[in-house]
A and B are shown apart, each in its own frame.
Chain A
Amino acid sequence: MDARRARHRKGGNAEVIPLPPAAPPGVVTADVMASDLGCFPTTEQYFGLVRAFKDDNFEMCVDLCAVDYLEHLDRPLPDGVAGTRFEIVVNLLSLSKKQRVRLRVQAGNDEPLVDSLFSLYPGTEAMEREAFDLYGVLFANHPDMTRILMPEDWEGHPLRKDYAVGKVPVQFKESPGPR
């Protein structure tokens, strides 16, 4: 099965689409699964690249989520990209060209800071608040950087890998207490 046929079966278009002309220089791209283009911008190139995509009529930012690679700092990444613990994954969609692009930004190890996409796509406001709430990733000039899902006085960010699942031991055998 030639690569083009394999790529198509993974849901993307036949070939990998090129970067938009206005993209900042030096953005590393790779053939990422099930999307037409995978980019690995650094935190500096991040905002410029997303604006370039927006001008290249990628009308909608579909999804933004954080991933915590605590145990896999040495995961397979295209050369020239240093894998850090936190990673922000942004999914852009162009309705007119029917293409999807996925950006993976390395957001740093203990104090992840990325600038917010609110001024480009207002729809990302809640997603960024969720990424902050569950992972502790800070977003520069975000209008309302507060928790969204957890109660206000909750300490810690639950979805981090070093946060316990919080399982309560379940008594199956003859349980001493009433329950």
Chain B
Amino acid sequence: MSDPTVRVAERLDILSAETSEGAQGLQERSKTDKDELGREVGAVLRLSGLTLDPNDVDYERRDDETMIINMGPAHPSTHGVLRLMLELDGEFVLRTKPVIGYLHTGMEKTGEVLTYVQGGTNVTRMDYLSPVANELGYCMAVEKLLAIEIPERAIWIRMLMAELNRVASHLVWLATNGMDLGATSMMIYGFRERELILAFFEKTAGLRLNLNYVRPGGVAADLPDGWEDDVLVICDTIEARTYEYDELLTGQPIFRNRMIGVAPLLAEEALALGLTGPLLRSTGVAWDLRRTMPYLAYDQVDFDVIVGTYGDNFDRYAIRLNEIRESVRIVRQCLEKMPGGDYRSQDPKVTPPPRARIDESMEALIHHFKLFTEGFHVPVGEVYSAIESPRGELGCYLVSDGGAKPYRIHVRAPSFVNLQAVPLLMRGGSVSDAITVISTVDPIMGEVDR
């Protein structure tokens, strides 16, 4: 009797049928039509129409000269379960097609089953490097539908946590980007600094990751007392350490050869592809939602928007490194200007009453019971609210039919759109450049596949 745990198939093609994604993958050149071939080669529409400069796209290349290979889901440097089908001519990448969906969790379907109170836990697991950004986008959409005002202190606490989360996300990017280029010590430094921030998150929200701290109507809990010197320690250490990373990486010849001038991007192409975040700013377009369409209290805080010039890998690295310093600057200003008052809106329909009052007043008990079993009702309507997450514009489109559960929740994930720049940036570079392209585009598969 064959061992039940061993998966044998009489013919290998039965096995291969299970993991091949057929039409979603890269087909031979003879089977792909001109438009799709242009897309896979990375030709991007410019204002003057689809520019497929003939010498760039060589249709007549025969299939046996090139090799189609998988840089598949279980790959150390694809930052998660991204599968890239590459057509290689020796060492150089001719065509790329990202095949995604290997982490599709049906979060938008689960979002329709959970009430508004529980929605935060589902949304926070999308971009698992910056959970506060997801919750913030979702809660701002719900609050716009509810049309309630949240107290001053909640606004500033949200800004503080969002910026700390941006620093943590960029630190992980620096770490994995360093490891992709062989600087494994950067991996250790990056995660060492991040532990400081995670310790503070654990102290305020009780969890290191997936905090569910930002809730519709304000914040789950007030900041722990003595949080000022925690945040001060974080700001000083990380500010000093960024100069250490600068010293470690920027002067390093291998790092420079693999990052400077590799995978340049034009502003026109970035806008046509709908890219946002550090990818768009690296091409010189100064678009940062915190500055151009300020939300929360970003207009009362002084910070710089970092913009690149060449749009190549090095610019994206420089942008993210300096954005850490900007975020630390914002955190310092939040530290000074943090107002007093309550941390959650006092509207009983939205915020559950404090535990102590439940035993005293019957009405508080009813509110508590209704809020946590059925959740609060949101008036009919639809809204799109967008914030600036570390990877770009994170939008939340919410449709409510008056019930306690969102009728439709769609999260516009910045990584999902930024991933479309990968064929364009990889075209013509070598496979080692492909690794740096994936790293600087910084896709998070939880957010891409939702």
- Partner-B contacts on A (CB < 8 A): 9-11, 32-35, 59-63, 65, 67-68, 71-72, 75-76, 89, 91, 95, 98, 100, 102, 118-127, 130, 134, 143-144, 146-153, 158-159, 165-166
C-alpha spacing A119/B11, complex, angstroms: 43
**What's the least CB distance linking B59 to chain A, in Å?**
15
**What's the least CB distance linking B419 to chain A, in Å?**
7
Indicate whether B121 reaches chain A with its CB closer than 8 angstroms: no
B382 and A33 within 8 A (CB): yes
B381 and A33 within 8 A (CB): yes
B144 and A149 within 8 A (CB): no
B144 and A68 within 8 A (CB): no
A149 and B449 within 8 A (CB): yes
Indicate whether B213 reaches chain A with its CB closer than 8 angstroms: no
Chain A, Cβ-Cβ closest to B101: A149
**What's the least CB distance linking A50 to chain B, in Å?**
13
A148 and B36 within 8 A (CB): no
Q: How many residue pairs bridge A and B at CB < 8 Å?
A: 132
Shortest Cβ-Cβ A-B pairs, 10 listed = A123-B274, A143-B35, A149-B101, A63-B412, A65-B410, A123-B273, A152-B22, A146-B23, A149-B104, A143-B36
C-alpha spacing A127/B450, complex, angstroms: 13
18 contacts between A and B (CB under 8 A): A11-B144, A61-B274, A63-B384, A63-B412, A91-B397, A119-B45, A122-B44, A122-B272, A123-B275, A126-B417, A130-B416, A143-B33, A148-B100, A149-B100, A149-B450, A152-B22, A165-B109, A165-B113
Interface centre among A71, A89, A95, A149 (most CB of B within 10 A): A149
Contact among B106, B271, B295, B419 for A59, CB-based, below 8 A: B271
Interface centre among B274, B385, B417 (most CB of A within 10 A): B274
Neighbouring B residues of A149 by C-beta, 8 Å: 100-101, 104, 449-450
Contact among A67, A89, A152 for B24, CB-based, below 8 A: A152
Indicate whether B383 reaches chain A with its CB closer than 8 angstroms: yes
Neighbouring A residues of B408 by C-beta, 8 Å: 67-68
A144 and B36 within 8 A (CB): yes
Q: Beyond A95-B287, A146-B23, is A60–B271 a contact (Cβ under 8 Å)?
A: yes
Neighbouring B residues of A125 by C-beta, 8 Å: 39, 420
B401 and A72 within 8 A (CB): yes
Indicate whether B399 reaches chain A with its CB closer than 8 angstroms: yes
Neighbouring B residues of A147 by C-beta, 8 Å: 23-24, 101
C-alpha spacing A102/B399, complex, angstroms: 13
Indicate whether B50 reaches chain A with its CB closer than 8 angstroms: yes
B293 and A33 within 8 A (CB): no
Indicate whether B108 reaches chain A with its CB closer than 8 angstroms: yes
C-alpha spacing A123/B392, complex, angstroms: 14
A34 and B420 within 8 A (CB): no
C-alpha spacing A67/B24, complex, angstroms: 24
A34 and B384 within 8 A (CB): yes
Indicate whether B386 reaches chain A with its CB closer than 8 angstroms: yes
A127 and B104 within 8 A (CB): no
**What's the least CB distance linking B404 to chain A, in Å?**
15
Neighbouring A residues of B30 by C-beta, 8 Å: none
B44 and A34 within 8 A (CB): no
B384 and A102 within 8 A (CB): yes
- Partner-A contacts on B (CB < 8 A): 20-24, 33, 35-36, 38-39, 44-45, 50, 100-101, 104, 106, 108-110, 113, 144-145, 147, 271-276, 285, 287, 292-293, 295, 380-386, 393, 395, 397, 399, 401, 407-408, 410, 412, 416-417, 419-420, 449-450
B144 and A34 within 8 A (CB): yes
C-alpha spacing A17/B20, complex, angstroms: 49
C-alpha spacing A10/B147, complex, angstroms: 8
Chain B, Cβ-Cβ closest to A129: B24
**What's the least CB distance linking A89 to chain B, in Å?**
6
C-alpha spacing A127/B410, complex, angstroms: 11
C-alpha spacing A157/B380, complex, angstroms: 26
Q: Beyond A121-B272, A152-B22, is A100–B44 a contact (Cβ under 8 Å)?
A: no
A151 and B101 within 8 A (CB): yes
B393 and A159 within 8 A (CB): no
Q: Beyond A72-B407, A127-B417, A146-B23, is A60–B101 a contact (Cβ under 8 Å)?
A: no
**What's the least CB distance linking B134 to chain A, in Å?**
15
C-alpha spacing A119/B35, complex, angstroms: 10
Q: Beyond A33-B381, A65-B410, A159-B109, is A123–B272 a contact (Cβ under 8 Å)?
A: yes
**What's the least CB distance linking A153 to chain B, in Å?**
8
Chain A, Cβ-Cβ closest to B418: A123
Q: Beyond A89-B397, A149-B104, is A158–B109 a contact (Cβ under 8 Å)?
A: yes
Neighbouring A residues of B271 by C-beta, 8 Å: 59-60, 95
Neighbouring A residues of B293 by C-beta, 8 Å: 11, 98
17 extra interchain contacts, Cβ-Cβ under 8 A, other than A34-B385, A122-B273?
Answer: A10-B144, A11-B293, A33-B381, A33-B382, A59-B271, A75-B401, A98-B293, A118-B35, A120-B45, A143-B38, A144-B36, A147-B101, A149-B101, A149-B104, A152-B20, A159-B108, A165-B110
Neighbouring B residues of A33 by C-beta, 8 Å: 144-145, 381-383
Neighbouring A residues of B412 by C-beta, 8 Å: 62-63, 65, 91
B101 and A100 within 8 A (CB): no
Neighbouring A residues of B450 by C-beta, 8 Å: 149
B24 and A146 within 8 A (CB): yes
C-alpha spacing A127/B412, complex, angstroms: 9
A123 and B417 within 8 A (CB): yes
Interface centre among B22, B109, B113 (most CB of A within 10 A): B109
C-alpha spacing A148/B386, complex, angstroms: 24
